[in-house]
Chains A and B, each alone.
Chain A
Amino acid sequence: MKDKRKILTIISLILFVILLFIMNRTFDSYEIRILNLCGIYVVLGLSLNLINGFTGLFSLGHAGFMAIGAYTSAIFTMSPELKQMNYYLKPIIPIFKNIQLPFLPSLLIAGLMAGLIGFLIAAPVLRLKDDYLAIATLGFSEIIRVVFTNTQSLTNGALGLKGLPKYTNVWWSWGMAIGTVIFMVLLIKGSYGRALMAIREDEIAAEAMGIDLFRHKIISFTIGSFLAGVGGALLAHLLGTIDPLMFRFLLTFNILLIVVLGGIGSITGTVISAVVVTVLMEFLRVLDGTMDLGFIRISGIPGMRMVVFSALLMFVILFYQRGIMGTKEFTWDWILNRKKKYTQIKG
């Protein structure tokens, strides 16, 4: 039975890769961009869900870690000439001037950098709980943004960085997404995952069971920050342009939306909702523009899609408080057992 599931997983993974291959061939550049965004939001959603959903830490600092990842990767991938062009007001710090690395090591350094900063702020910040933790992490994220706006010789300040190599393609974004899903499943289904969920359920009981709360919270927060950094870097090399304003709270809010809609504490839910939200956000873009319904012309209201989206979120929160999936996960048993029941009825 167990082997059967393993085979099913491998087969569906192969099918999915083939599907990606086909989409990569047939989609136009706009559609491919959305496909890439979906993959990146899977990574980002899962990383936030690890911290908020599985460990129960109410963190709102994601945009900050994404910014760290995006800028780190940008600095390591830009060619010396590109750096000279970008940093025209104030040259970049000499040590970074001539460094140029391929995408994979840059992506890794981006993640490590975000993870390191996450680790460093975890110690003071994770002593706080609930709303206090949320405020502190939100504050951290805003501080990162302000710092990046003012460190001209490192980040080029408010001018941002342009012309970044657009390395992020379907294989990078979805490769990372699949990798993150596999990592999360192995983590959550293992002993450490159970420990994190126990902390979420009841800190006092978890500690009484011998779980070192602080250590496990730091582990979760650091991994989440690492993945947020990777996601930020992927985004930077998809868009080709970054500036501090991109990493406002709104970005964290979008990811939080994905996590809440999908189900706090569900990997399956986050994957589904990352894709649905990203695609829907694009469809709703028409709301922001002028609409011609033949007999009537509605001039677009910028920001309309966020209104519609927030209304949608409120609807979900009101009627499906626990998101699409709650804390449940998809397992092959859903299909296998249904089939068994069916054959039983027939037989």
Chain B
Amino acid sequence: MSLLRTNNLTKKFGGLTAVSKFAMDIKEMEIVGLIGPNGAGKTTVFNMLTGVYKPTKGSIFFDGRDITGIKSHEVTKLGIARTFQNIRLFKELSVLDNVLVANHLRLKSNILFSVLRTPNYIRQEKHMYEKSMELLKEVGLDDVKDEMASSLPYGKQRRLEIARALATDPKILLLDEPAAGMNPQESFELMEFIHDIRDKFDLTIFMIEHHMQVVMGVCEKIYVLDHGVTIAEGTPKEIQNDEKVIEAYLGVD
């Protein structure tokens, strides 16, 4: 079944068309890649999907609903979570608090009940804590839960961002260059990890990657952007042998 679909999605910044007529269709439980050289418009696609940017034209359908132009926090509530290309953790908060705060959107107590610590609130807080600790264990950060997020090394920050996104209970996870700054070995492990969490949390994954090779092993389908235009889509095999793709990448890598 189709989970996330776009139609004619276009974004212009003044005279620059960052993304042009982007059409995609992601099915439940798929792992899909979005690749392309720097400045191709990949992050802009994510920003439109998550409500950070309003599309200039086109529409986005999620789970059968038209979600074009709705606010970022509402998108997350519907079940689209994301990470950022240049990590955006809550730096001064602890590792645990970073994950806890991502549970807030599902809280069913108003501020008064929260301050009064009603039994219902305490139950939810306990549940949040247990869920967050489980997620931290999942990404191997449970032992540093009390450290400040900014004190973690780069790789761990990336994993914390994934744990935080998972805490919002998403149906689909958007990862913006999760392997950026990692060596080939680390990238490979990360892809394996992403594959695992897909199975464990019944997730759909849509991931941006700058290097084509990294996603070849893990993605079932790949879209290739160049200068905002979709120059190819298909299985990794099809993409690898596509002349336009090779051409677009030749000048870069």
List the one stretch of B62-70, B84-92, B239-247 in contact with chain A.
Answer: B84-92
Expressed in whole angstroms, the minimum distance between the Cβ of A256 and any Cβ of chain B is 20
Residue B97, interface by CB 8 Å: yes
Q: Are B103 and A208 in contact (CB-based, < 8 A)?
A: no
Task: Please tell me if B93 contacts chain A, counting CB pairs below 8 Å.
Answer: yes
Docked complex Cα distance between A234 and B96 (Å): 39
Which residues of chain B are within 8 angstroms of A211 by Cβ–Cβ distance?
73, 101, 104-105
For the residues of A in contact with B, the DSSP-based class is: helix
**Interface residue? B102 (CB, 8 A):** yes
Q: Is A284 an interface residue (CB 8 A)?
A: no
Nearest Cβ distance between residue A140 and chain B, in whole angstroms? 24
Tell me if A212 counts as interface (CB < 8 A to partner B).
Answer: yes
Q: Closest Cβ of chain B: how far from A334's Cβ, in Å?
A: 14
Judge whether B182 is part of the interface by a CB distance below 8 angstroms.
Answer: no
* Minimum Cβ distance to chain B for residue A23 (Å): 29
Query: How near does chain A come to B240, taking the closest CB pair, in angstroms?
Result: 32
**Scoring A residues 201 to 227 as 1 if CB is less than 8 Å from chain B, else 0, what string do you get?**
110111111111100000100000000
A201-B93, A209-B102 given; A191·B107 CB < 8 A: yes
Is the pair A204, B52 in contact by a Cβ cutoff of 8 Å? yes
Query: B98-110 vs A: 1/0 string, CB under 8 Å?
Result: 0011111111010
Given contacts A202-B88, A204-B52, contact A191 B117 (CB under 8 A): no
Check if B100 sits within 8 Å of A212, measured CB to CB. Answer: no
The tally of residues in B whose CB lies under 8 Å from a CB in A reads 38
Q: Which of A75-83, A192-200, A337-345 contacts B (4 or more CB under 8 A)?
A: A192-200
Q: Is the C-beta of B204 less than 8 angstroms from some C-beta in chain A?
A: no
Q: Which residue of A lies closest to B128 (CB)?
A: A191
Q: CA of A209 to CA of B50 in the docked complex: distance in angstroms?
A: 11
A152 at the interface (CB under 8 A from B): no
Distance, CA A105 to CA B84, complexed state (A):
50
Q: How far is the CA of A190 from the CA of B104 in the complex (A)?
A: 10
Given the known inter-chain contacts A186-B115, A191-B114, A209-B102, please indicate yes or no for A202 contacting B107, CB distance below 8 A.
no
CA of A327 to CA of B94 in the docked complex: distance in angstroms?
12
Query: CA A219 – CA B111 in complex, angstroms?
Result: 9
A/B interface sample: 28 pairs, CB < 8 A: A190-B114, A190-B121, A191-B103, A191-B109, A191-B114, A192-B104, A192-B111, A194-B93, A194-B100, A197-B93, A201-B91, A201-B93, A202-B88, A205-B89, A207-B72, A207-B73, A208-B72, A208-B73, A208-B76, A208-B81, A208-B84, A209-B104, A210-B73, A210-B77, A211-B73, A211-B101, A211-B104, A219-B111
Task: Give the 8 A-B residue pairs with the shortest CB-CB distance, closest first.
Answer: A210-B105, A210-B76, A201-B90, A205-B88, A194-B101, A207-B72, A209-B102, A190-B114
